[in-house]
Structure 1
């Protein structure tokens, strides 16, 4: 049979475990948020590199078209 003291200890133990669980949940969610921010940063950097490569490729294509048109004009004028 439980005494009054036993039930108080049970309530205190369950409250402590609840607060510890709540603390761990908050801590884990903070770590998840941090890793989400890190993941977002990494994705932004990777997307930035891809965007820079695409822009450079587009510039290269434009330059090649310009050079080929100059050669055509050069052939026509000569």
Structure 2
């Protein structure tokens, strides 16, 4: 299935892009993240499973167990800090 990915803040900088469309077999956000990490390189660095990364599904912050469907928009966000 095809999904639209969006990367924000430092993730966008690390990956060198703000968005991309991908074909995936993943059925959950966690599985999608694991597929991206498996690409290696900047993806493995930015989205490593030990890193704190927030994920939104169709513009709603979601758990990694959320189900991904055809045409979904998935956003990846680094942790937010304030001061």
When the two structures are superposed, what TM-score results if normalisation uses the length of structure 2?
Answer: 0.16
| Structure number with higher strand proportion | 2
| Structure number with higher helix proportion | 1
Query: Bigger radius of gyration, 1 or 2?
Result: 1
Structure possessing the higher relative contact order (Cα contacts under 8 Å, 6 or more residues apart):
2
When the two structures are superposed, what TM-score results if normalisation uses the length of structure 1?
Answer: 0.17
